[in-house]
Amino acid sequence: MMLRLMIAALLALGFPAAALAQDGPAFQHFRAGSAITLAPDKAYFLIRMPEESVSTKLQPVFLRKPSAAELAAYREAKAAAHAKAGKDAGPIENFDFEYTAATNLFQIENGKFLAKEGNDRLFLIATAPGDYVFYGAGFNKFLWQCNCMGTVSFKAEAGKITDLGAVLITLAWKPSGFPELAEDTNLGPKMRQDYAMFAVGLRPATAKPSLAQLAALPVQAAEYHAVGAFREPARLLANRLAPVPGVLGYDKGAVIDLRTGGVVPKRF
Amino acid sequence: MRFCGVPLVAAAALIAGPLAAQYSPPPPPAPPIAVPDLVAADGKYGNELKYFVFHKAGASFEAARADIAECAVHTVHGRQLKMPAFVAWEDNDRLADPIVFNGSYGLVGLAIYSIIAGPLERSLRQEVMMACMLPRGYDRYSVTEPMWKQIHEGDNPAALIDLQATIASSPVPRTPKVTS
């Protein structure tokens, strides 16, 4: 009886529909062998993780900017919880509030890739359309490091695959094989203390991957925009996203929108 | 008696009138912040990766204070967020459950920046401060461990940041420059 149950469970894991359903409805990885169909109400990320990135065991984290309705519902729930907490609640700015009615922050899972291209893993994720921020990097779905000192945003349109390019993650203290991370790596022992600092970067897509499964599907490269520094204390480390040519630069710590040349103000 | 062709009484009235409405005495100057002597009497300093002060040649106090205060915000951290989660991106109301700290403090603002922390927390904080401050053109100069604690840990984080900014904008410290 137990063997039959185990076999049934193992068979269930092989079904494409089950492979998506296990992630939950909001952020779904297409596994190897999955049939790919694009729903008109969903957006799709295509992400490349080079071997060096995968080896760090950190995985990229993305935030979908809340819709007006989601934000309103959150604010209403927070105000209600704060009122319920009474006179001991303190100012609402300091009010610690757990909210589970919606989710908009997700971590890629390195084992749930669609295919490999050379030593790179390719991920295809089904998610909600919207504006996204490259928020940081996680470990086992805990936020490890935020891109709090500057990052990028991009739009993910419904019914289309947005190719984010390659996510570059490596240790900041030693040299890296990623030329894009030249300013943010080889920083020596100061970035290799009790918790090593990571360097995180992007290599925007320049060509569609050669996967046969994607040949007939609409794939467009993400259009990145610079985002100013933000606060995120619920993690261990904070750093900047490495400069992205033509998109994100820095001038003595100030975040520069390289599309306009202007300084992007911090968000706190 | 006339002044510049104007009767003196009238001239005084002119000065006392509109100008008097605009004039307010400047605030008394703030007492200068006393910078401790950073040089170790025996020439021995703490671990240079952990115990240092920032300095930038030519920096003003105001610019140094703004840099240190902004970077200090990023050193505040707590229990890691478990994903998936919800973040109200537009509200900037992110908090984190405190871990390992003692004493009472606020989660918003700079209070945690100045708490007395253990060595693991200190190395995390220093890595984040260096990631933020070094690209802004600051150098590091060694200090002893007790001196570092005197400058960075205490009950008044704003005053400590003023002190750090004073050091950062004063003449170059006479302690060894950290290059590692």
Whether the pLDDT of residue A111 is over 80: the answer is yes
Closest-approach residue (CA) in chain B for A70: B88
Does the structure show a pLDDT above 50 at B108?
Answer: no
Q: Say which amino acid occupies B46.
A: G
Q: How far is A211 from chain B (nearest CA, A)?
A: 29
Chain B, window 80-139: residues with a beta carbon less than 8 angstroms from a chain A beta carbon? 80-97, 106-108, 119-120, 123-124, 126-128, 130-133, 135-137
Per-residue pLDDT, B116 = 57
When mean pLDDT is compared across A85-89, A93-97, A232-236, the lowest value belongs to A93-97
Q: Which two tokens stand for residue A154?
A: 């991009």
How do A43-49 and A161-171 pair as beta strands?
parallel
* Average pLDDT rounded to a whole number, residues A214-239: 95
Tokens of A237: 């480390």
Tell me the average pLDDT of chain A.
90
Contact A225, A259 (CB under 8 A): yes
Closest CA to A244 of A257, A254, A231: A257
Q: Decide if A104 and B86 are in contact by the 8 Å CB cutoff.
A: yes
Of the candidates A135, A141, A172, the beta carbon closest to that of B82 is on: A141
Query: Distance (Å, rounded) from C-alpha A21 to C-alpha A29?
Result: 9
Residues 6+ apart with CB under 8 A from B144: B40, B44, B45, B46, B51
pLDDT, tens only, B48-58:
999 999 999 99
Q: Which residues of A touch B133 (CB under 8 A)?
A: 253
For tokens 């605030």, the residue is: B27
pLDDT digits (tens, 9 = 90+) for A186-215: 999 999 998 999 999 999 999 888 888 899
Per mean pLDDT, which range of A51-55, A124-128, B107-111 is the poorest? Answer: B107-111
Q: Is the pLDDT of residue A11 over 50?
A: no
Question: A177, A119 in Cβ contact below 8 A?
Answer: no
| Ramachandran angles phi, psi of A129, nearest 5° | -65, 155
Query: Dihedral of CA A192/B97/B54/A265: which sign?
Result: positive
3-state secondary structure of B120: helix
Q: State the average pLDDT over residues B96-115.
A: 45
B57 touches chain A (CB under 8 A): no
Q: Are A127 and A108 in contact (CB under 8 A)?
A: no
pLDDT band at B30 (very low <50, low <70, confident <90, very high): low
Confidence of residue B95 (pLDDT cuts 50, 70, 90): confident
If one counts every other C-beta atom within 10 angstroms of the C-beta of residue A108, the result is 23
Specify the 3-state DSSP secondary structure of B42. coil
Q: What percent of chain B has pLDDT over 70?
A: 71
**What ipTM was reported for this prediction?**
0.89
Give me the residue from A66, A70, A235 closest to B81, CB to CB: A235
Say whether pLDDT at A163 is over 60: yes
Q: How confident is the model at residue A88 (pLDDT cuts 50, 70, 90)?
A: confident
Kindly report the number of other CB atoms within 10 A of residue B90's CB atom.
13
Give me the residue from A106, A231, A252 closest to B83, CB to CB: A106
| Contact call for A149 and B131, based on CB within 8 A | yes
